[in-house]
Structure 1
């Protein structure tokens, strides 16, 4: 991983830089709502130390006085409740005014936050921050590659950049890159120019992975442009496919001091991404439930990982969709006990506070019958009935709350009090499960995290319904405000970057 360090011109003034933001991606197709319970709030030195490049002894930490104002972060989910967002925004702005003046602001946002009543929440937050700190303060935004960069957001901030890997292998590196640019510009003076252009393409992240071509080559070109003379930074946003707002589409920004170079390279990157659109395929073999099950039963790969993509909590799914689980519970290959020749499987997970609590209270060894799931998202299937033996209970999971494992034949179902992703081996072993020793591992995820990818002997993306359905046509976007590939493809595209 490349390490960014601040090479700055020393001045007698040690700049003061505030850190603030709201980090969440929100599916407008999910009935889930993100309230206070979804967010973790960090302030002061606890917030500053969250970033590895700002911990004690880090070179960049010494280049400025870093002030942790407020960062509210949550697992992806449904839209944020209006009063929650407005309360966080008000605290950020009041603190910026009270603790200022500041020379710079590091605005840490995702870019795909949807708030009830708003259509461009990050731009609204950026405008409020700008109003609080005044026109002379430099505002730099660090964003997720799956965020949406509207013209208003790009215009309001002075610097903006995102990750260069999908999925998410350079989170801290990207933030450090933005922070370093901010420190340099505060010391050296001068706002960079920005060439911004949107690209009418909106694809799920599972179709744009830098682990494979052509996305790998496209993002290598982004990095190459960033190193050109006259260029400060270059970024390509993929957009967030599971929201229905006018800003939802890909975007390019090239920033620096040579406007001609910025416009030329922004247009070239936008054109390259547009030209690659038809070749951006899914990151793994994919199929329907029936096709995936047939592949599992036809071979002896162990574990065979199936991504239950439509209800992925880390993409914004409600976490309690039962469509896939209902079918697994009716599948003889798993309902027959292993000692009688059945297959073993783990299903992780299904969130239902009442069901998880009831099973946990019953205790290990109890035979239970409980209706679970579809309390929030019942669009594709209602609650399922679990009849089985409680094999494990954990009361204090920091994310999931009360967690219980119910064995139904060879199928072990993980019930959680709160939405919780299961992407690491330790997630499973902490609740008495052996993911490597099971035949089939069904997880609510899209592209596999590194640990799961390394663990899987084989894997497929299961194309299932839910708030983050890979089949965008089933979701029915109506608010994009114009043709976007592949939902309503435009006939042609002529990128014309705008200098902001």
Structure 2
């Protein structure tokens, strides 16, 4: 069994991790460059709470190894994973003896030929740094927690809000819990893990509305119990097809009774609420949403083109939605309702528009270079309204005015979450009639801006109609795929400490 650790005055803690949501239903593939990895001292610059002089910074000797985060996308190539994980492990091996490691990941990374990539990487990390190192794992609530990942982690937590307005707070909590444990010299905590056979999209489990608001509010109550260090509920990631994809609960702490009771309370509440989870906004077909928007007096009216959402793992270049918009007679006259559409990638189209310059009329073809499952490349003739270079994600952005539609075309795919994403392109989203964004639930700035909003259930690699996607490898029975399934066993499984062998299967 684990023995109490000797408290250290200034623990040495490394930071490492790779993060991405990977849709296995998108034909896209993600390479190493998409992770924009930080190395060494620059890793610490990612976290405001580790700024020089900050209390948490001075509480430990922090050592950056490698942290890389990619926009959600398709599966990570085997070569990219080998390159990034190999460098990460080499950098860890070059560090002095560690007391702790903060494993900063997302939890929904799928790698070609590998199941449960984050657990595999953590196993390799432990082989590198040794079994005595205490690991604190921070995750997105749309990640997946297998029994193996819970076992390899000593502390584990995730976001408690969707949209993730608490993402930095969560990372700080994971780092602080790790420092507190190391400084106290306490034994490795107990971990109560419960897999919950529910797999729902994030747009159906937003904490903005019930029942997720109340289900997640209980996390704070469980965490406040004596003997509990942290509590977490993972919704899981719906757009990948692996056995680990499902909801899960983990409660960590020093009291067996407290972590067990807390985990069973949270898992039971999530399961009991399964039929009440609903989309965070009214839904409809794209044409139906456009009809409703045109009939409404609310301005600006936002429509989410959900099936190709690049922040959920969509390829971002599905042209189906933009084709439908441009075909509408209401938008073919420049004097028609003002529509902003964000966005579709088209590197050659962007290059043509840049050569022509603002004010020129161009005919270009964009989209469907990666995902042509639902529609082919789209040819458009329009006036170049704006050009912007140097975006971190898009590289170069171009706005084409086609009738009354302002279509954003990018060199590389980009999510549009902030007002400045539009105003930087000489667009006025607040003054538009319709703003159509490849997104699921609206991020906070857009949510505050929208006078009204609907989710269009459109096709793509992150289709909101989950049964339509055709999962074949998830564990069954699973709600909602097996809606009449019996109640599952939601008894807490106490996971062995990370320095002890793990036996049994991932149930």
- With normalisation by structure 1, the TM-score equals 0.96
State the Cα distance separating 1:258 from its structure 2 match. Answer: 1.1
Structure 1 residue aligned with 2:491, among 469, 474, 496? 496
State the Cα distance separating 1:10 from its structure 2 match. Answer: 11
State the Cα distance separating 1:368 from its structure 2 match. Answer: 1.1
- Give me the whole-angstrom Cα distance separating, in 1, the residues matched to 2:220 and 2:438: 32
- Give me the whole-angstrom Cα distance separating, in 1, the residues matched to 2:174 and 2:51: 16
Are 2:356 and 1:359 aligned?
no
Distance 1:458 1:12, change over 3 A: closer
Structure 2 residue aligned with 1:462, among 456, 465, 469? 456
- Give me the whole-angstrom Cα distance separating, in 2, the residues matched to 1:334 and 1:474: 31
State the Cα distance separating 1:213 from its structure 2 match. Answer: 1.2
1:337 is aligned to 334
Q: How does 1:81-480 map to 2 (within 5 A)?
A: 81-189=77-185, 190-338=187-335, 342-480=336-474
2:74 is aligned to 78
1:54 is aligned to 50
Structure 1 unaligned blocks of 5 or more: 1-8
- Give me the whole-angstrom Cα distance separating, in 1, the residues matched to 2:41 and 2:365: 45
Structure 2 unaligned blocks of 5 or more: 496-507
Are 2:63 and 1:67 aligned?
yes
Which range moves more in the overlay, 390-399 or 193-202? Answer: 390-399
- Give me the whole-angstrom Cα distance separating, in 1, the residues matched to 2:8 and 2:183: 10
Matched pairs, number? 489
- Give me the whole-angstrom Cα distance separating, in 2, the residues matched to 1:397 and 1:95: 29
- SS of the residue corresponding to residue 224 of structure 1 reads helix
Which range moves more in the overlay, 254-263 or 197-206? Answer: 254-263
Per-residue displacement from partner, 1:131-189 (whole Å, max 9, x unpaired)? 11111110111111110000010011111110111110111111111111111111122
Which range moves more in the overlay, 71-80 or 257-266? Answer: 257-266
1:6 is aligned to none
8 A Cα contact 1:360 1:403, kept in partner: no
- Give me the whole-angstrom Cα distance separating, in 1, the residues matched to 2:75 and 2:96: 31
Structure 2 residue aligned with 1:45, among 41, 49, 52? 41
State the Cα distance separating 1:36 from its structure 2 match. Answer: 2.4
- Give me the whole-angstrom Cα distance separating, in 1, the residues matched to 2:10 and 2:262: 34
1:4 is aligned to none
1:3 is aligned to none
Which range moves more in the overlay, 79-88 or 105-114? Answer: 79-88
8 A Cα contact 1:145 1:164, kept in partner: yes
Backbone CA RMSD of aligned residues:
1.3
8 A Cα contact 2:200 2:235, kept in partner: yes
- SS of the residue corresponding to residue 415 of structure 2 reads coil
- SS of the residue corresponding to residue 75 of structure 2 reads coil
Per-residue displacement from partner, 1:237-279 (whole Å, max 9, x unpaired)? 0000000000000000011111122112211211110000111
State the Cα distance separating 1:37 from its structure 2 match. Answer: 3.0
- Give me the whole-angstrom Cα distance separating, in 2, the residues matched to 1:140 and 1:100: 18
- Give me the whole-angstrom Cα distance separating, in 1, the residues matched to 2:233 and 2:222: 11
Distance 1:11 1:194, change over 3 A: closer
